[in-house]
Amino acid sequence: MLVDAILSAEDKRFFEHGGFDFIRIVGAAWADLRHTSQHYQGASTITMQVARTFFLSTERNWRRKLAEAMISVELEQRFNKQQIFELYANEVYLGNRGSFGIRGFSEASVAYFGKDLRQLTLAECAYLAGIIRAPNYYSSADRHPERGVQARDRVLTQMLDNKYINDEDLKDAKGELLKIIRTSTSGSEAPYFVDMVKDHLLDKYSETELLSENFRVYTTLDPALQRAAAAAVDAGMKNVDLLLAKKYDKWKRDQARKGGNEAIPQAQVALVALDPRTGEIKAVIGGRDYGQSQLNHALARRQPGSVFKPFVYAAAFDNAVDNVQPIITPATTIDDEPTTFEFDGKEYTPNNYGEKFMGRVTVRDALTNSLNVATVKVAELIGYGRVVQVARKMGLGTNIQPTPAVALGAYEMTPIDVAAAYTTFATMGTRAEPQFLHVVVNADGTPLEKFTPQTHLALDPRVTFLVDSLLKDVLNRGTGAGVRARGFTLPAAGKTGTSRDGWFAGFTSNLLCVIWIGFDDNRDLGFTGSVVAGPIWADFMTRATSLAQYRDVKDFTMPDGVQSVLIDPDTLELATPNCPTTREEVYVAGSAPTVFCEVHGGHNLFTSTGSILSRVFGGGDPKSPQKDANGQPITTYDPNRPPNATGQGPADPSAEPGEKKKNPLQKIFGIFGGKKKEPDKVKPKPEKGDSP
């Protein structure tokens, strides 16, 4: 029955002709010439289909038809009909089950019906033969039964016309229910990724080509990493469910009291992992259950919250590169206190998480602790337009606007958008465009599309290194410290984010991952990114770096043009050997401090050598030279010497913006703790804002 069905559907005179039907070939060529590329007329015999599958491209024109005919004649001379038919029946493309292509009727019989060929009914044989014409269309009959009926009935009618069956056979076969095995809705380990590939193919190729031809698509997906992502998300979302269940306990009691039965809302998730050097997407989780929702949350636009803050500080540090005032460094101090900002005739009053303020803080601590007010102040200092300008250079769309809210991630973007922009931080300033395909080839292996990494320099490497040093602190001692507590200790940098949703974006030298968690109806999740997204990121990166290709993690290398010096954390001036504590700080060359610490000098006020008085009025021995993190002395500033790019000495002696030079009396009185009392300020009542 199957042979009769195949012959009826594809080549009823196969055992009679010599490889091609001359009349049909001429008719197809004439139709091609008359209608150009829009209406092709098929005329391929089974032998010609074998010729095309093994020797030719899938291009549709009269030249290929003639080539098929010539090769078909050669095949007919070298092989008998039985051999050619067997080759065809074992290799013909018969659609997909999930992400796996099916070749040959034996494989198709098992895939679609779970049977051996000898067990197939007439209706099932007709359906399989009917798939050949448009395999990608008819192979989805498990989800679209009408397509299966259409393919089956067409072939049954052809079999009746060719007298392989009678009217009674036709009636019985049409009355039979096709019991096609239903595949899982996802159909693959990475259904959302597969959808992205399909969408690209539909944009690039015609539906006719996709339904009838056998394309081979080579993607960037890493199956092992995809499995790691799925495992991390599965474990992490169970924890999120528990958190939400506790949160909604009262809500459930209220529901029961009111007689309602609404279920606890289920949070959704997205994970994007890519190679920051190339932009190749290695793993994608677009939701919790593809069967329940095919919405790819990795492509859904949501507010990123504090995940956007690094772009504010990148714009601020970029001022030093462009020599634009004000010069902002990681040690620049900002007042973190309740503040109302005025913009465009309106007031904007952000709040810190938990309504807690830290007073005067460095820029480093402002980002490390994800302080909202301090971040908006930085954006205000450099100009909101400057923030938008730098963010757009890093690929963050045209929808973000120069307002105070931009500093706190108020403008929507997708997880893939965020991941692509963060490649700039992970690669010393080079942005990589996300890509998920390597090459698309036709049935004979001819490349139709090739994809190579698309990168460009979006941010100065010096600025990138400064931002990275802050983002490392986020993981080591800031809002992302839970990552370290969970055992991930490799060199990495990252940022938490909380709006109505929870975010975590972070990277090593060879892998970048962004996590998003939230509700489809945009209700407030009620948990910070560090609580819900951070654990998933840590779990995924731990699993990923256990794989050989992601294990070799390097620390971020300091580029030329960056200074690393020891400073006193209290005065933020160059440290002396007598400072009780010191820490290393990094600067764009030319913006480091040039004054040595005057509070912890370790000298008595009235000693004759090295005293504060002698430093104020002159004379005395010079200080002992400061040494940097590498043990090298920092030399006294020489205005005629160019800035040392490797961090062995202070650079331009210009003071920090707003810093006034102290006169001798101020310095002396400052020793005794004298300080001008500032008038009390009326603090505005803060409103709810972004959180870490």
Mind spelling out the 3-state secondary structure of 443-459?
CCCCEEEECCCCEEECC
d(CA 315, CA 322): 11
Q: Which pair of structure tokens corresponds to residue 692?
A: 């870490």
d(CA 336, CA 405): 16
Position 688 confidence tier, pLDDT thresholds 50, 70, 90: very low
Contacting residues for 399 by C-beta, under 8 A, at least 6 apart: 411, 412, 413
Torsion of CA 120, 123, 124, 126, to 10 degrees: 110
pLDDT tens per residue across span 435-456: 999 999 987 788 999 999 999 9
Selected residue with higher pLDDT from 58 and 308:
308
Residue matched to tokens 């039965």? 261
Relative to beta strand 502-507, strand 512-518 is antiparallel
The mean pLDDT of 592-607, rounded to a whole number, is 68
pLDDT tens per residue across span 523-557: 999 999 999 999 999 999 999 999 999 999 999 99
Position 683 confidence tier, pLDDT thresholds 50, 70, 90: very low
Selected residue with higher pLDDT from 115 and 292:
115
DSSP code of residue 102? E
pLDDT of residue 261: 59
In this structure, are residues 478 and 369 in contact, taking their beta carbons and an 8 Å threshold?
yes
The superfamily in CATH containing domain 2-188 is Biosynthetic peptidoglycan transglycosylase-like (1.10.3810.10)
User: Can you give the pTM of this predicted structure?
Assistant: 0.69
d(CA 578, CA 446): 71
pLDDT of residue 645: 32
Of 154-158, 181-185, 219-223, 436-440, the poorest mean pLDDT is in 181-185
Of 113-127, 132-146, 430-444, the poorest mean pLDDT is in 132-146
Residue matched to tokens 């931009």? 406
Residue 655 pLDDT > 60: no
Residue 656 pLDDT > 70: no
pLDDT of residue 260: 61
For every residue of 240-300, DSSP letters joined together read HHHHHHHHTHHHHHHHHHTT--PPPPPPEEEEEEE-TTT-BEEEEE--S-TTT----GGGS
- List the chain domain ranges: 2-188, 560-659
pLDDT tens per residue across span 194-252: 999 989 998 998 877 776 677 889 999 999 999 999 999 999 999 999 999 888 777 67
Residue 120 pLDDT > 60: yes
Residue 303 pLDDT > 80: yes
d(CA 125, CA 5): 6
Position 637 confidence tier, pLDDT thresholds 50, 70, 90: very low
Q: Which pair of structure tokens corresponds to residue 286?
A: 């677009």
In this structure, are residues 287 and 270 in contact, taking their beta carbons and an 8 Å threshold?
yes
The candidate with the shortest Cα–Cα distance to 306, out of 504, 459, 532, 520, is 504
The candidate with the shortest Cα–Cα distance to 630, out of 555, 554, 566, 561, is 566
pLDDT of residue 24: 61
Q: Which pair of structure tokens corresponds to residue 174?
A: 């049409």
pLDDT of residue 587: 98
pLDDT of residue 52: 78
pLDDT tens per residue across span 91-115: 898 987 765 678 899 999 999 999 8
Q: Which pair of structure tokens corresponds to residue 668?
A: 């002396």
The candidate with the shortest Cα–Cα distance to 648, out of 587, 572, 603, is 587
